[in-house]
Amino acid sequence: MQSKFSEQLTLALDGIQGSLTHKQIAGKVHVSVGQLSRLKNGTRNTDKPTRISLAEALQSIWLNFSGAREDYHIPSFMKNKTKHNDVMAALFQQRKEENERRQLEDAFDEAIGTKPELRSPQQQQLIRDYFKEYVEEIGAENTDIVMKAQYAGVQLQSYFDKYNDQYGG
């Protein structure tokens, strides 16, 4: 079975179209073309340094998010198989997720302000739902910013680097 990282690697390699060959990418990452093919097909596992090298060589934010998901178990981007994979679908999904979370906000604030031993079952469920919606919103936000940057022809990595230098913990 193909991993999520190998799916993104396949998309990134398929998207290089003429700028670099698979042989050149393999050379940059210090693997053979055969090993790169096995990584792409998901028949060989990747380690963290290889994931980082691949994302850097392919200049792929998608691979960075996918690698971070795999390495650190944090939300990546949202991939909804029932929706179009374009900037407008990403924007609509992001707004939907944000609205769903905001609808819970006032009731969540009330529930979280209640002492844990005094919370009703509905309040406990609301707290769980709120965090579920928040994580879904983060994934939708990640997807939205990358899709918009691609649409605008902007290299987003430099913005991430500046942010991490200034604010990143």
For the whole prediction, is pTM greater than 0.75?
no
Distance CA 113, CA 19 (A): 55
Domain 4-72 has CATH 1.10.260.40: yes
Mean pLDDT of the region 13-38? 84
149: its two tokens: 């940057």
**Type of residue numbered 124:** Q
121: its two tokens: 């079952």
The domain locations on the chain are: 4-72, 87-166
72: its two tokens: 């650190």
What is the percent of the chain with per-residue pLDDT over 90, rounded to a whole number? 21
50-96 pLDDT, tens digit each:
888 888 888 888 888 888 888 777 777 777 677 667 788 888 888 98
**Type of residue numbered 44:** R
User: Counting beta carbons within 10 angstroms of the beta carbon of residue 142, is it exposed (0 to 12), middle (13 to 18) or buried (19 or more)?
Assistant: buried
